Structure 1
Amino acid sequence: MNIRTAHRDELPVLQTLELAAGVLFREIGMTDVADHPPPALEVFEHARAAGQLWVAADDADRPAGFVLVELVDDGVHIEQVSVHPEYQGRRIGRQLIEYVDAWAAGRGYPVLTLSTFRSVPWNGPYYARLGFEELPELTPGLARIRAAETAFGLDPAERIFMLRKVAGQ
């Protein structure tokens, strides 16, 4: 996979990709998560323009997955990683996270953070295998993200915030 900055004309494709990736949540009964609308085009465009939205493109240069980040509390917060079901199981999510790690290292950011589901196998346990550890205490920015997730209807008891030191930092 070639990882590159998303193109403006791909943003609707990323919304469709996000919805397709949500099917896995439906399969485990998490229909609210599966039915959650993808980020608005404006959110994608803001991240793209800021250089914080990348795609993993297949051999035909079509997005197979994407990662969207934001800067939170002097670190890089992985807001969303999604891989289309047709491409899952090929370590694309891992490649996207490693790309973000290298990007963060090049800019001097010391940590990557993310929030995820504690018990969903391809969430908390997966990120732990990638070197993320659960945060016992949230920074102010991460606490704001938790409040937004809770307002959306996510159970804070089922959510965890995780941190990984950026390679070389």
Structure 2
Amino acid sequence: MPIRPAAPADLPLLQDIERAAGESFRALGMPEIAEDEPPALDLLEGFRLAGHAWVTETEADGRVVAYLIGEPVDGAFHVEQVSVHPDAAHRGVGRTLIAYAAERARDQGLTGLTLTTFTEVPWNAPYYERIGFRVLGEAELTPGLRKIRAAEADHGLDRWPRVCMYKATDPA
């Protein structure tokens, strides 16, 4: 599936993808996550303007089915959000977006990718470990990651176990 930078017209679609992808959390007893509002349009626009918002389209009809947003944090590219519409799930779309972000990070001289995620959600930490991420210990957290985790705690995400993870970018 082709990946391209997000366009202004894509941003409401990213919110729709986020809502649809979030529904799967209901089955895990996490309805608050399913009901959490997606990133606001102005926030998504900030990632887009910075060149840190990418979408995946279907080859057949060019429909946007996934996105990834992030930003540099303490020498690595922090994946703020990667979401795949359930209609496109289990096809390697998320993995492809993450690999694309890793290439862009490497091109920018960043050491790797970071993200924060739930430890007990199968498509979160266990999935990221399968694709090469590792859990960061408390002593490894950079100031920027500590700030992100504090904001997540303020948002109530620490009701469920969470971790920071890291994956080095492959050398060019």
Contact conserved, 2:52 with 2:70, CA < 8 A, in 1? yes
**Rounded Cα–Cα distance in structure 2 between residues aligned with 1:167 and 1:156:** 34
Structure 2 counterpart of 1:150, from 150, 153, 157:
153
Equivalent AA in structure 2 for residue 75 of structure 1? A
State the partner residue of 1:126: 127
After TM superposition, the score normalised by the length of structure 1 is: 0.97
Shift of 1:157: 6.3
After TM superposition, the score normalised by the length of structure 2 is: 0.95
4+ residue stretches of structure 1 with deviation over 4 A?
none
Shift of 1:62: 1.6
> Which SS does the other structure have where 2:12 is aligned?
helix
Instruction: For residues 15-72 of structure 1, give each alpha carbon's deviation from its aligned partner in whole angstroms, at most 9, with x where no partner exists.
Output: 0110000011012110111111000000110100110000011122221100001111
**Rounded Cα–Cα distance in structure 1 between residues aligned with 2:160 and 2:56:** 32
RMSD: 1.1
> Which SS does the other structure have where 1:70 is aligned?
strand
> Which SS does the other structure have where 2:157 is aligned?
coil
> Which SS does the other structure have where 2:78 is aligned?
strand
> Which SS does the other structure have where 1:109 is aligned?
coil
User: What residue ranges of structure 2 are gaps of 5+ in the alignment?
Assistant: none
User: What residue ranges of structure 1 are gaps of 5+ in the alignment?
Assistant: none
Shift of 1:104: 0.8
- Alignment length, in residue pairs? 169
Equivalent AA in structure 2 for residue 144 of structure 1? K
Counting aligned pairs with the same residue, the percent is: 47
> For structure 1, which segment, 154-163 or 5-14, has the greater mean C-alpha deviation from structure 2 after superposition?
154-163
> Which SS does the other structure have where 1:22 is aligned?
helix
Equivalent AA in structure 1 for residue 8 of structure 2? R
**Rounded Cα–Cα distance in structure 1 between residues aligned with 2:63 and 2:7:** 11
